[in-house]
Chain A
Amino acid sequence: MSERVTLEEGAGGEEMINLLKKSILPYIEGRGGEVELGVRELDDGAVIKVDEGKYIIFTTDSHVVDPRFFPGGDLGKLAVAGTINDLAAMGGDPKVLSSGVVVEEGFEKAELEEISKSMGRTAERAGVPIVTGDLKVVGGGEIDGIIINTSGFGFSNKLTPSSGLKPGNKIIVSGTVGDHGMSIVASRENFDSSIKSDVAPVNDLVKSILEGDGVTAMKDPTRGGLAGALNEIASRSNVGVKVRREDIPVTSEVRAAGEMLGIDPLVIANEGKLVIGVEVSKAEEVLDAIRRHELGKDAEIIGTCTEDNKGKVILETEIGSLRLLKSPRRKPIPRIC
């Protein structure tokens, strides 16, 4: 039997990187003198240099989610926020978006309109207009409902790539983690809960973070959750990261649902959060700036970057013991973002 793509390979973990490196990247990669970060770096977006200290950030993301309407959001909001957040996490100020919709024959128009309205509303509120688009209709059953791709670009004069952490840096998370993933799982399991997805564009939050100095790296902890994001920035920056479980904000609802469903809030997606690396001398200042923003009021300093344990994330558990916090691998929760 010839090898087939598996769901695990789409979960954002090591398997996905392997698939990209084997079957896609070597064939598509292009590089020019202006490309500072390209597909090879597997960061949230590409960085193209336009002038000394001036960059264009460019990214694209396809969105599917089941269910398409969930507490706190829907596919439309997710598709717009997802791309804005990828740009913002790179230190970009998102300017415009595109919308590519693939929908199957038989899809209800009323639902399509609801999703489109939500896209428009989210883009308008974030101040990032959708300026071009495309539509394809495929036969019934060829896809499951609808897929929305959004691309976008923004400008940056302060890059925050995930490789920017330095030993001694503090790690901040901009709010509670696990809300999006848990709200999706809870609504799929018909689990009665008040958990709402955190899906929201964070570009305005990033603007206020970058007004000050000291930020070295940023990452939006989507697929793979906080654990995935921390591992990614630890390994790209070649530093160790040590975090304390007790300092990581998780709402009591998410925590309780996680206990019941056997899902660790640290390994599931967030759609309106940032993990931020900051120089120790500026940590409190940046934390205050984040907390002043509506989307950052629950922000906390959760850990420190270390010289040792390079590329690893160490978790100090509630009982004071230590363990590795690894990226989630097997059994991804499919079609979550």
Chain B
Amino acid sequence: MNFLEFRDQTRARRFSELIRELAPEEDITIMHVCGTHESAICEYGIRSILPDNIELVEGPGCPVCVTPTLHVDEALELCSHDDVILTTFGDMVKVPGSRDRLTEEMENVRIVYSVAEAVDIAEKEGKEVVFFGVGFETTAATYAPVLLEGPENFSFLGSVKKIPPAMKFLLENEQVEIDGFLAPGHVSTIIGSRPYRDLSQEYRVPIIVAGFEPLDILVAISELLKLLKTDGEVVNAYRRAVEEDGNLKALDMIDRAFEVEDATWRGIGKIRNSGLKIKEGRLDAREKYDLDVESDESNVPPGCICDEVILGKSKPDKCDLFKSGECAPQNPVGPCMVGSEGMCNVWYKYGGRPEIE
């Protein structure tokens, strides 16, 4: 596959014209829920070619950003065990807990690129290794096989979430106005396009499964605009990667490794049936270390508006800490700046909706 065909300028122009024709008079908000979408939207300056009354917002699409303070506090608690090596993704370092955050300088913290690397450490070094794993369904699919067969000295501190229940929550939330969703391409390769169907019909919103090339996104936005006045419909605009039923093998593994639970999302609160909890008690770090940590989820750093950004109610450039540079990737205040998929982090890199004279 040649990615250049998805960046063809002539076709992009055609779709941006189509989007202008289809755009309604009134303001509309399109939410996506994926850090990779936000990156692509910014990298290709998609907002600069949309009509001003179409807002594209990220929503809770960054798994690092929505990890509750409790889970960070639990990871910190595990670090107090001298014999434990706590492994996690680089982005989880610096995410604020209720009092403290993990740092790379901590002796028993190790940054890994995958859960497999964590298992490797457990097997090679023979010490107790905990993997602090965050993510959505896409990442859950990579965790599942390890959780089903990991070694005895390995355990899992999970913060794994499901996207569709969060979308449902946002649609029910009266403070958040969403006219349609771009469904996340990566998550959808696992869960398929089917899970969006009920949501779309119940709340009468269009949901378009979108890929990550600029044309993918422009096509998805134009499809969404066509369906604005309808009763809601799901369109799979990322057929080259997403099937209606998803990846059955991966789903089966997720089913065997995890069970559904209610989960807390930072900045949002508890969302029903939105979490994936490890089924096999054997590898559950919470059971193994008998974790009983109390955490204050309401502890938001002063001035930080990440909670509103995560809900799609505000944007990074509305934040004083963002504007003043006080909150930046090298010195992040809120979670949306820590996670490389967070809207603040992506906007810092690309400049967001660019202020071009």
Task: Give residues of chain A (312-333) contacting chain B, Cβ–Cβ below 8 Å.
Answer: 312, 314-315, 317-324, 326, 329-331
With both beta carbons as reference points, the residue of chain A lying nearest to B351 in the complex is identified as: A324
CA distance A313 to B348 in the complex (A): 14
| Nearest residue, chain A, Cβ from B15 | A319
Closest to B46 in A: A321
Looking at B9, B42, B43, B218, the one whose CB has the most chain A CB atoms below 10 A away is B9
Give the residue of A15, A246, A322 whose beta carbon is less than 8 angstroms from that of B356: A322
Query: A319–B9 contact, CB under 8 A?
Result: yes
Closest to A8 in B: B330
Given A318-B7, A323-B43, A324-B356, A329 and B12 touching (CB < 8 A)?
no
Number of A-B contacts (CB under 8 A): 80
User: Are A15 and B43 in contact, with the CB atoms below 8 A?
Assistant: no
B214 is an interface residue with CB less than 8 A from chain A: yes
Which residue in B13, B48, B90, B329 is a CB contact (below 8 Å) of A329?
A: B329
Contact among B13, B329, B330 for A320, CB-based, below 8 A: B13
B49 touches A330 (CB 8 A): no
Min CB–CB distance B331 → chain A (angstroms):
9
CA distance A19 to B103 in the complex (A): 20
Instruction: Point out the residue from A6, A308, A317, A331 that lies within 8 Å of B45, measured CB to CB.
Output: A317
* Pairwise interchain contact B351-A6, C-beta atoms closer than 8 A: no
> Which of B46, B214, B329, B354 has a CB less than 8 Å from the CB of A318?
B214
User: What's the minimum C-beta distance from A185 to chain B, rounded to whole angstroms?
Assistant: 14
| Smallest beta-carbon distance B215→chain A, Å | 7
A309 and B351 form a contact (CB under 8 A):
no
A288 CB within 8 Å of chain B: no
Asked if A259 is at the interface of the complex by the 8 Å CB criterion, the answer is yes
Q: How far is the CA of A314 from the CA of B354 in the complex (A)?
A: 9
Provide the main secondary structure of the chain A interface. loop
- Asked if B89 is an interface residue, CB under 8 A from chain A, the answer is no
Say yes or no: A324 contacts B354, CB within 8 Å: yes
Interface string of A282-294 (1 = CB under 8 A from B): 0000000000000
The answer to whether A317 and B356 touch across the interface, beta carbons within 8 angstroms, is no
Residue B44 is within 8 A (CB to CB) of chain A in the complex:
yes
| Option from A259, A308, A319, A324 in Cβ contact (under 8 Å) with B3 | A259
How far, in whole Å, are A321 and B350 apart by their CA atoms in the complex?
A: 13
> Is B49 a contact of A321 with CB atoms below 8 Å?
yes
Report the interface size class on chain A. 20 to 34
Residues on the A chain within 8 Å of B42, using CB: 323
A329 / chain B contacts, CB cutoff of 8 Å: 328-330, 348-349
**Could you tell me the distance between the alpha carbons of A331 and B349 in the complex, rounded to whole angstroms?**
11
Contact B356 A326, beta carbon cutoff 8 Å: no
A323 touches B354 (CB 8 A): yes
Residues of A near B7 (CB, < 8 A) are: 318-319
Contacts of B328 in A (CB 8 A): 329
Contact A323 B350 (CB under 8 A): yes
Partner of B48 from the list A15, A246, A321 (CB cut-off 8 Å) is A321
User: Could you say which residues of chain A place their CB within 8 Å of the CB of B3?
Assistant: 259
> Which B residues touch A331, using CB under 8 A?
90, 340
A326 touches B351 (CB 8 A): yes
The minimal Cβ–Cβ distance linking B209 to chain A, given in whole angstroms, is 21
Query: Measured between alpha carbons, how far is A15 from B105 in the docked complex, in Å?
Result: 19
A329 to B350, CA, bound (A): 11
* B294 CB within 8 Å of chain A: no
Given contacts A321-B46, A323-B350, contact A309 B214 (CB under 8 A): no
A278 to B143, CA, bound (A): 54
What B residues does A4 contact at CB under 8 A?
105
Contact partners of B330 in chain A: CB under 8 A? 6, 8, 15, 329-330
Alpha-carbon distance between A314 and B328 when the two chains are bound, in angstroms: 21
Q: In the bound complex, what is the Cα–Cα distance between A132 and B322 (angstroms)?
A: 49
The answer on a CB contact under 8 Å between B357 and A323 is: no
A317 touches B357 (CB 8 A): no
B1-37 CB contacts (< 8 Å) to partner A: 3, 7-9, 12-13, 16
Give the interface of A toward B (CB within 8 A): 1, 4, 6, 8, 15, 240, 246, 259, 308-309, 312, 314-315, 317-324, 326, 329-331
Can you spell out 21 A-B residue pairs with CB atoms less than 8 angstroms apart? A1-B105, A15-B330, A240-B357, A259-B3, A308-B357, A314-B356, A315-B45, A318-B44, A318-B214, A319-B7, A319-B9, A320-B12, A320-B16, A321-B44, A323-B44, A323-B48, A329-B329, A330-B340, A330-B345, A330-B349, A331-B90
Known: A317-B214, A318-B7, A322-B354. 14 other contacts (CB 8 A): A8-B330, A308-B357, A315-B45, A319-B49, A319-B218, A320-B49, A321-B49, A323-B48, A323-B354, A324-B351, A326-B350, A329-B349, A330-B340, A331-B90
Across the A-B interface, give the 10 residue pairs with the lowest CB-CB distance, nearest first.
A324-B351, A321-B45, A319-B12, A323-B45, A308-B357, A330-B329, A318-B7, A321-B49, A321-B48, A322-B48
